[in-house]
Amino acid sequence: MNSEIKKIWNLIELQQNSIVELRAFADKKSPVVKHFYCTDFQSLDELRVAFEQAALKLNNDGFNIYTVMNPIKTDLQGRSAKDRDIACRTLLLIDIDRAGATKNPATDDDIKAAKSLAKEIVKYLGDKGWPKPIQVMSGNGWHLYYKLDRLSNDNDTTELIKRVLKQLAKRFNNSEVNIDTVVYNASRITKVPGTIMRKGQEAPDRPFRKAVVYE
C-alpha cells in the first residue's frame, strides 16, 4: 500500500458517524463520486483502508483524486456534498499556485516559488500566533492547511475565511505565484496525498507529480 496516502487522515477528521466523500475526475471520463459511511464498517481503520484502495485504483485508472475536507452531515444520501451538507469547518486551506496560465503541469521552478511563498506565509502567521499548518505539495503548487476548532458552517464563517484569503493574497501575491481566493466554500474538495495529479499535457520540464505531505 502507498504509505503517502495514509497521511490524508492527518487532515480529515473521522468520528464514529463520519461520511468520507471521494471524487475522481479525468478527461473524457465521467466523474466518479463514492461515499464511505463509518457505520458501514466494523472500524475506522477498515474505512480508511477501503478509501485508500478505491482512491489508488481510480488514480491508476487515470483519475485525479479529491476528497471533501470538512465534516459532512450524517444525513447525506447519495449525492455530492454541497455547502449546506457540511456540519462544521475544521480546515482553512491556503492554496498557492503559479500565476498566469495553469492548463499544463507546473515546472520545478513553479513548485519552488510556491514553496518559498508558503514559507513566508507560515512565518507571517506564526508571528501572529497561528499554529504550524500541515503542508502539502499538491502536484502543481503548495497547500497550507490550518486546523479550525469546528467553526459553525454559516455565513459569518464563510465571510471570515474569504477575508483572510483576500488579505493574504493582497499582501503576498507576486508575479510568479498567487493565493487562490475562491477556495473558501464549506464543501471544498482537496487533493488526496499519495495520488498523481494529471493536468494538461505532460512534458520533460512539466511532469505529472504525486501530491505529498511536506514534513
Q: Over its length of 215 residues, how does the chain's per-residue pLDDT go in tens digits?
A: 579 999 999 999 999 999 999 999 999 899 999 999 999 999 999 999 999 999 999 999 999 999 999 999 999 977 899 999 999 999 999 999 999 877 899 999 999 999 999 999 999 999 999 999 999 999 999 999 999 999 999 999 999 999 999 999 999 999 999 999 999 999 999 999 999 999 899 999 999 999 999 97
56 by DSSP, 3-state: which?
A: helix
What gap in Å lies between CA 18 and CA 139, rounded to an integer? 28
pLDDT at 96: 98
User: What is the rounded distance in angstroms from the CA atom of residue 81 to the CA atom of residue 206?
Assistant: 33
Phi first, then psi, for residue 91 (nearest 5°) are -140, 140
User: What's the CA gap between 49 and 106, in Å, rounded?
Assistant: 31
Pairing between strand 141-152 and 189-191? Answer: unpaired
- Euclidean distance between CA atoms 48 and 159, whole angstroms: 32
Separation between Cα atoms, residue 30 and residue 50, nearest integer Å: 21
- The torsion angles phi and psi of 54, rounded to 5 degrees, stand at -65, -40
**What is the C-alpha to C-alpha distance for residues 200 and 109, in angstroms, rounded to an integer?**
18
The model scores a pTM over 0.85: yes
Q: What is the biggest distance separating any 2 CA atoms in the chain, rounded to whole angstroms?
A: 51
CA dihedral 180, 186, 189, 190 (to 10 degrees): 60
pLDDT at residue 2, rounded to an integer: 79
- The pLDDT assigned to 11 comes to 95
pLDDT for res 1 = 55
